Structure 1
Amino acid sequence: MLVNALMLLFVIFSHPSPRPTNDSYKIDIANAVVSVSGKVKTPSGQPVSYANVAVKGSVKGAFTDLEGNFQLFDLSDGSYEIEISAVGYKTMNQLITVVAGKLVNLEVVFEEEDVQMPQFAVIANRDRIFSKVPGSVDFLDKAEIKNLHPISGNEVLRRVAGVHVVDEEGAGMRVNIGIRGLDPDRSRSVLVLEDGVPVALAPYGEPEMYYSPAIDRMAGVEILKGSGQILYGPQTIGGVVNYITPNPPSEHEGAVRIQGGQGGFYSNLINYGNTFGNTGFQVNLLNKGAKNIGPTEFKITDFNTKFLFNFNEKSELGLKLGLYNESSNSTYIGINQVMYDQGGNDFARLAPDDQLDVQRYSVSFNHVYRFNPNVKLRTLAYGYTTTRNWNRQDFSINANNTPPANWTGVVWGDRSIPGGAIFMRNSTGNRNRQFAVGGIEPRLEVNHSLFSFKNELIVGARYLEEKALEQRINGTKAGVQSGNLVEDEQRDGKALSAYFQNSTDVSEKLSFNVGMRVENFNYDRNIFRRNFSGRGIRDTVLVAGSNITEVIPGAGFNFKPVKMVTIFGGVHKGFAPPRTKDAITSTGDALDLEAEKSWNYELGLRSVPTPWLFLEATAFLMDFSNQIIPVSESSGGLGFGVVNAGATRHQGLEGSVNIDISQLLNSKKWNVLYDVNVTYVNAFYNADRFISDININGNRTPYAPEWLVNSSLAVESNSGFGARLTANYVGAQFGDELNTIVPSVDGLIGEIPSYFLLDAVLSYKIAPWNSAFNLSIKNLTDERYISTRRPQGIRVGLPRFITAGFEINF
């Protein structure tokens, strides 16, 4: 299947759009005439690599190379506005005039955006200087996100090598991210941030992603997988995903975006920003929902606003507020293997009364104080609450297909096949949880010249408190949210972290990064009510606590042997604290549960051999002394048990290629871009471990496909027409540790076959109106595939799905 998929990619993308027949089309780039050349630098004189240089009102554009240089070709005589942008800097606009074909030289010095409203950008020192990042890193900007016209953020994250994203309900409201073969369940092994602030329910004790930032309102996404992530705990296992929201513009700027499609789907976003004197603001409101995306109905209201107060030359303050409300019929139950094989019920609502309500309220502050040009203090403070109440109908499955005593009369599947029936019960389990998180993080940034070398030092500390309240209420009828309180508890945690990282430029070609973080986490579990074996449900007072301390070092390097090549590498210790519910049992016993630990290595190369070609390849190894395999309900388990899974190893290769075909062929009227990223992962158990007397040493870890391929061909014309084709291949994967191939009747285990998806987008921009139309088709070939066998049954991937939209900017 992989070979077929790769051949199909070659056939599709080796035949770009028909070649224009007019005189402006030239095959030999040597015939191109350089109209504008320039260099982009930081205020300290360092080159800015991969800054975006665009000629407004045309398809002409370029990225700066590793030395910050760029060229624009074949501009006709006339006046143009050049826009230059990069993450962490204020966008620069430059008016130029081309006369008689004479070369225009530009030198652009960026002005830093110190307060990032409030965000600590994960990538290096706020900018996109890949040549200085100690490890593999990716950035997806606003244009890339908009051009995909995604239904969910899953489509965007798949554009990154090494990232495996599993669809659950089709709308991406519960993101499941696995990096380099790690289990994607609830993104537990990934540190997810929004503007540098944690997003998980409880970052230390319960790092599950039941709330996912809406991709519709994002200005970019950063993904960091190398040793630089040790600054951003608590998790340093798989990587860091940082969602970036837009900052206040320097002058008034607004937009309205409307998207609608099948199944009653809609996504409406309005945003506006401006700056008055020393105060800037940005506000956006997202209203999103659907009657039927697969089996899912949902409504989301998401309001965010930012303020920037520029007090003086030394001090700035950013403030961000967020309100999120979601209601959906999300459910854990999926179809069984019998239903999948027989067809016809892929998107049946097996439990139509199931309902998940999520509310999230957040506030964060980011203050910057500049003591002098070389010393800067940043302080990030934040707090947020998340309420996650989930009403789920009970059901019963047994080998004899015997209905339970409280059966509603509704049965799914096939009663003629042993274990092939799902009986819906007339009872519910209401899993109600509330979380509160607060933290403060001061960070000192110092440029110094120790031993006569140029150094950048970051020193910081973080204090965080988190609290979780959990109740389970069993209802005696389907759909009811009241009933008998059977579980009641509170979990508390206090974390203190300190870190440093120093980057040293040994020469113009070689730099080193050395860092370390120390984590201390104290946690306890207070159980007020539970079900005791042989005694029934009783009120109780069970209190137990524990603590963990870990030292997490890391180091990396960048070496530029020649002008257009950077070799990078790094090593760091992977760490994730144990979940509080796993480390302390429901009877109040504190288990000797270790943290999740690994040593992560990578070695890579990135190059821009020509202005139209970008190459990157990375080899990686993650060697776990103790990987924690989740046993939660979301991963198909019972929610309790021994979770020290022992040694595993993840090793593989990632590769990315970006080609600007229009620059290669010197096209004046067409912008044609092609990219592909390929990931090979071999993730397996690396020590003896027995399950049902079977040694799984050497078996692949669950939900770790060996091959991932994502590719895109995008075409845009000066007239405003655009088209994009995106392909995504996911290799076969196993649903259990035993690597069972033949599926179980209930659908929970068995091989998940590989699948190949194509998405297409057509767009048309109307420049005089500052507006654009689009038509988007997801799963163009209408491929039927299993996206996951979790949490409790098969989820079928979204079928062909068509949306259309309109956007106007003002």
Structure 2
Amino acid sequence: MSPLRRAALPFCLLLSLLSLSAYAQDDDQQGVNSRKPTNLPMVKVHADDWRKYLKAKLQYQMPEVDGPKITVTKKTTVTHLESQPTVIGNNLNQALARTPGVVVSEQPTPTQFNFNYRGIGNPQESEYVLVMQDGIPMEGDWIGFPTLYAFPLTQSLSEVQLIRGGSSLLYGPEPAPVINLVSKRPAPGTPLTVSTENVVGEHGLFSSYNVIERNQGAWAFRADTGYVHSDGTRANDGSQNRQADLYLAYKPDDHQQWWFDFHAISAVSGDPGRLSYTQWQNDPRTVTTPYNRDWVNRDQLVLGHTHEFGNHWSLEAKLWFTYQDLVSRAAKAQLPGQAPPSTTTLQDEAFRTYGTDVRLRKNWGRGNAFTVGTVLFHGSDPFRQWSTPDLAVARDDHSGTQILNQRRSSQYASLFAENVFRLPHRIHIVPSLRLERERVAVDETVRPPFLSRPLIHEADARHKPLFGLGLGNDFGHGNETYFNVSQGWRPLRFFDIAPPFSNLQQGHAAQLSNSVSWEAGVHGAPVTGLYYDVSVFWINFRNRLETQYINAIDTVYVNTGDTRSRGFEGQLDYDFFAPTNYATQGQHLEAFVNVSLLNARFTASRIAGQVGKTPAFSPDYLLKTGITWRNERVKLSLTAVSSAAQYWQDSDQAYGSGLTYMPARIPAYTVVDVASDWQLNHSLRLLAGISNLGDRRYFDRVWQNGLEPAVGRTWYTGFALSY
């Protein structure tokens, strides 16, 4: 066959097919004309775009699969700080007003931060709450010394994430919850931008926050510096807080990114001392420790990488190093007019910690996701003390007599996996598994001179498997029911295996404190502008670890018993302008209210008469509410936090008498704040606000040696410029 014929053959076949098709159509048309038409019943079809409900919910909760983290069936709350006025001076009650259930035990000086949740543990330095920045622990030593002495300026954060049940399976030690602080990043396409914010206020407040950033092409960076100074409300109450951050990212293609983070926080503050209730009533400005001082320095380097592989696999990996130094100068308390103490103690605790967090995710099937990962952590934390007659000794002056020297180390490793199964009828199931191992060790070369025990050489290692199960069901328009049962735990600390200031030897470390948390609820955004989340919870916390006094000097850390916390937590947000034409003009008038109702009790105890009592810092209710008006030019908010009375120690009893008297309970209080941002033009923004608008005189932080007065009414005003 010639080439011409071969070329014409397909054309001929095509003509034949078209002829047959035309003949068939003519034949069908004749059949149709010979039959009478049949009228079928009308069927109405309505399209409902589920994505609008998902987008509405993401204003208030985390994505169901957030990178390599599965959060569906875990109760989460997200506070987008850009949706409210600027928070000045780290007013944490204002920053966490939309975060249900988190109790802020206020300390005016910026060298300790105190949170607790659902009655699990004392809020002292947030020891029972895991606080993270971008998924990396903020504690001094995550395992051996899980205390919070540094907190980034809220101007450098984009959002605050709160994760309840299942948080230990997602991130690791501490019963619940996780508070994850998310750093600001420059949005894609951001040109070179420079901004400066400067604020002045009562009690010598001066705050300055400055940023330069850019994100165009393959490279992005953001650098900021912050400085906050305050004279405080009492003598020896002044403080200075400095911060610097650097973020540098490189994105060679659409499937991967490398980034580098550097965070530096430095705080120095006087410590005016704690007061008895009688002293606070007589004069809340009384100073009992005029020579005491605290220094905190924290530097952190992070290297991160994300990669989207083929076949629906993705990777997120982080490697970090942190150095934190806590130095304090502390002398015995004295009343005004009394002779000063003869000596002071200079204490230095350094923390050098290293860690890596590697997570893989595989998307499979129709909406299913599998995650697996590992976390490795190591800490080297020397602990030293000196005694000196110089009551104003400098932080680095070690010329005094050394009275304590310990080498402390911690190790932690975990393997974990989770999977979300999407089943018919919009049902999803999330089983979780995490295997944990910790080891802490203390080696002592100098012991306090008032003790007679041998030098400490102790080490202890523990293994802990954790299990969790989540169930959920999407129904209606943007609603979801969720159920989660999961285990959590609190690691053994250095003090748990070897109390440094006791003559008693530990002998053997106590059992691990562990929790089982149950939560069931429903949340959703069923109509435009409305979001709700209501749940009931039950937490069994076993093997509580507490200090037991043997005599005036000797203490030992022992498992004292079990507690049960149960209650209700609800959140309601409504934007009155969302269903109206005002929303198309960028106008929002949003009211919110969230409440935590708590019933916590001791269910077992080796302490006589303790069963049935209420654990410390477990208020029956914690109510937070407010209203915010915002548009392109204005952000104006009024917020309130109201707490029921709460016991400050587990005995539920008063303490001392006369000048040392402390009532059994911290009185109930309500505090109202107002804050505003006014964008006058493209470059200039004005800021103003009043904290504790009603000038409420109260306190919510108490320790064995007294209370710390909360700050009364204060104001601030300032401006921000951007170019």
Spell out the pairing of 1:717-732 with structure 2 (5 A cutoff). Answer: 720-732=633-645
Determine the C-alpha separation between the residues in 1 that align with 2:414 and 2:581.
52
- 2:176 corresponds in structure 1 to 238
SS at structure 2 position matched to 1:728: strand
Instruction: Check the 8 A contact 2:636/2:676 in 1, yes or no.
Output: yes
Could you tell me which of 316, 321, 325 is aligned with 2:262?
Answer: 321
- Is structure 2 residue 605 aligned with structure 1 residue 707? no
Question: Which range is displaced more, 705-714 or 670-679?
Answer: 670-679
Match of 1:571 among 482, 485, 490: 485
Q: 1:721 to 1:243 in 2, by over 3 A?
A: closer
Question: Does residue 1:437 correspond to 2:378, yes or no?
Answer: no
Residues 27-80 of structure 1, C-alpha deviations (whole Å, 9 max, x = no match): xxxxxxxxxxx999xxxxx947564xxxxxxxxxxxx358xxxxxxxxxxxxxx
Distance (whole Å) between structure 1 residues aligned to residue 69 and residue 371 of structure 2 = 17
For 1:799, the equivalent position in structure 2 comes to 712
Cα offsets for 1:168-221 (capped at 9, x unmatched): 2x2554111101122212111111111111110000111011122222311111
Matching residue's letter, 1:254? V
1:443 and 1:715, CA in 2 relative to 1: closer, same or farther beyond 3 A? Answer: closer
Tell me what 1:655 maps to. Answer: 570
Q: Is the 8 A contact 2:168 2:488 kept in 1?
A: no
State which of 445, 448, 458 in structure 1 corresponds to 2:364. Answer: 448
Specify the alignment match of 2:544 in structure 1: 627
- The SS at the match of 2:95 is helix
Larger Rg: 2
Structure 1 segment 258-407 matched on structure 2, within 5 A: 258-293=198-233, 296-330=237-271, 333-342=273-282, 344=283, 346-372=284-310, 374-395=312-333
C-alpha distance 747-278 of structure 1, shift in aligned 2 (>3 A):
farther
* Deviations 1:220-275, CA, capped at 9 Å, x for gaps: 1111012254120122x121011111123332233211121011111111111113
In structure 2, what residue type is equivalent to 1:427?
T
Secondary structure, aligned partner of 1:687:
strand
1:205 aligns with 2:144: yes
- Please, what TM-score do these two structures have when normalized by structure 1? 0.77
Note if contact 2:111-2:295 (Cα within 8 Å) is conserved in structure 1.
no
Report the AA paired with residue 464 of structure 2: E
Deviation (angstroms), 1:313: 4.1
Alignment of 1:24-43 (within 5 A): none
2:135 equivalent to 1:196: yes
Q: Please name the residue that 1:35 is paired with.
A: none
Say whether the 8 Å CA contact 2:173–2:488 is kept in structure 1. no
Instruction: Pick the aligned partner of 1:547 from 444, 447, 461.
Output: 461
Partner of 2:416: 499
Judged with a 3 Å threshold, the aligned counterparts in structure 2 of structure 1 residues 301 and 123 are, in CA distance, closer, same or farther, namely farther
Verify the 8 A CA contact 1:584 1:591 in the aligned structure 2.
no
Which secondary structure state, in structure 1, belongs to the residue aligned with residue 66 of structure 2? Answer: coil
Q: Secondary structure at the match of 1:552?
A: strand
Letter in 2 for 1:687: A
C-alpha contact 2:627 2:639 (8 A) present in aligned 1: yes
Give the structure 2 partner of residue 736 of structure 1: 649
What residue number does 2:74 align with?
Answer: 135
* CA distance in 2: counterparts of 1:154 and 1:391, whole angstroms: 29
CA contact (8 A) 1:762 1:775 kept: yes
- Give the Å deviation of 1:713: 1.4
Q: Is the 8 A contact 1:684 1:699 kept in 2?
A: yes
Shift of 1:327: 1.2
Asked if the contact 1:752–1:786 (Cα under 8 Å) also holds between the matched residues in 2, the reply is: yes
Deviation at 1:476, TM superposition (A): 1.9
Give the letter for the 2:430 counterpart: N
Q: In the alignment, what sits opposite 2:429?
A: 512
The percentage of aligned residue pairs carrying the same residue is 18
CA pair 282-303 structure 1, distance change in 2 beyond 3 A: same
Please name the residue that 1:676 is paired with: 593
Q: 1:664 to 1:48 in 2, by over 3 A?
A: closer
Please report how far the alpha carbon of residue 666 of structure 1 lies from its aligned counterpart in structure 2 after TM superposition.
5.5
Offset at 1:773? Answer: 1.1
CA shift for structure 1 position 638: 7.6
2:532 maps to 615
Going from structure 1 to structure 2, the CA distance change for 1:368 and 1:664 (only over 3 Å counts) comes to closer
Q: Distance in 1 between matches of 2:440 and 2:598?
A: 35
Alignment of 1:117-156 (within 5 A): 124-126=64-66, 133-144=72-83, 146-149=85-88, 151-156=90-95
CA 1:124–1:388 in structure 2 vs 1: closer, same or farther (change >3 Å)? farther
The DSSP-based 3-state class of the residue aligned with 1:627 is strand
What is the deviation of 1:379?
Answer: 1.4
Partner of 1:598: 515
Deviation at 1:703, TM superposition (A): 1.3
- Correspondence for 2:22: none
Aligned to 1:457: 370
Name which of structure 1's ranges 238-247 and 481-490 shifts more when overlaid on structure 2: 481-490
* 8 Å Cα contact 1:773-1:806 kept in structure 2: yes
After the TM superposition, which residues 161-200 of structure 1 pair with which residues of structure 2 at under 5 Å, given as runs?
Answer: 161-168=100-107, 170-182=108-120, 183-200=122-139
CA gap 1:722/1:572 in 2 versus in 1, 3 angstroms: closer
What amino acid sits opposite 1:605 in the alignment? V
Cα 1:228–1:134 shift into 2, 3 Å: farther
Seen in structure 2, the aligned counterparts of structure 1 residues 266 and 124 have a Cα distance that, compared at 3 Å, is farther
Tell me the equivalent position of 2:476.
562
Q: Which residue of 2 aligns with 1:584?
A: 498
Cα distance between partner residues in 1 of 2:413 and 2:517: 23
Q: Counterparts of 1:39 and 1:146 in 2: how far apart (Å)?
A: 35
Alpha-carbon distance in 1 for matches of 2:276, 2:539: 34
Q: What amino acid is the match of 1:268? A: S
Native 8 Å contact 2:97 2:640 kept in 1: no
Distance 1:592 1:353, change over 3 A: closer
Distance 1:180 1:567, change over 3 A: same
Instruction: Determine whether 1:489 maps to 2:411.
Output: no
Distance in 2, matches of 1:652 and 1:140, equals 22
Q: 1: distance between equivalents of 2:317 and 2:666?
A: 46
Partner amino acid, structure 1, of 2:571: S
SS at match of 2:332: strand
Q: Give the 3 Å change call, closer, same or farther, for CA 310–338 of structure 1 in structure 2.
A: same
Deviation for aligned residue 1:283? 0.7
What is the distance in 2 between the residues matched to 1:309 and 1:717?
34
Query: 1:289/1:39 Cα in 2 relative to 1: closer, same or farther (>3 Å)?
Result: farther
User: Cα 1:629–1:216, aligned 2, differ >3 Å: closer, same or farther?
Assistant: farther
Unaligned runs of at least 5 residues, structure 2: 1-46
CA–CA separation in structure 2 for the residues paired with 1:606 and 1:809: 39
The answer to whether the 8 A contact 1:467-1:491 is kept is yes
Q: TM-score, normalised by structure 2?
A: 0.85
Q: State the Cα deviation string for residues 572-622 of structure 1 (Å, max 9, x = none).
A: 012111112212344765523111111100001113232122111111111
SS in 2 for 1:610: coil
State the SS of the aligned residue for 2:341. Answer: strand
Report if aligned partners of 1:154, 1:175 keep a CA contact under 8 Å in 2: no
SS at match of 2:578: helix
- Of stretches 220-229 and 429-438 in structure 1, the one that deviates more from structure 2 is 220-229
Shift of 1:645: 2.2
For the Cα contact (< 8 Å) 1:334–1:795, is it kept in 2? yes
What is the aligned partner in structure 2 of residue 411 from structure 1?
A: 335
Per the TM alignment, residue 461 of structure 1 is displaced from its structure 2 partner at its CA by 0.8
Change in CA separation of 1:302 and 1:631 when aligned onto 2, cut-off 3 Å? farther
Do the aligned partners of 1:747 and 1:789 also contact (CA within 8 Å) in 2? no
Q: Go from structure 1 to structure 2 and tell me whether the alpha carbon gap of 1:535 and 1:464 turns closer, same or farther (over 3 Å shift).
A: closer
* Equivalence for 1:425: 341
Please report how far the alpha carbon of residue 424 of structure 1 lies from its aligned counterpart in structure 2 after TM superposition: 4.5
* Structure 1 residues 661 and 181: CA distance shift in structure 2, 3 A: same
Q: Which amino acid aligns with 1:789?
A: V
Determine helix, strand or coil for the equivalent of 1:628. strand
Task: Determine if contact 1:49/1:129 at 8 Å carries over to the other structure.
Answer: no
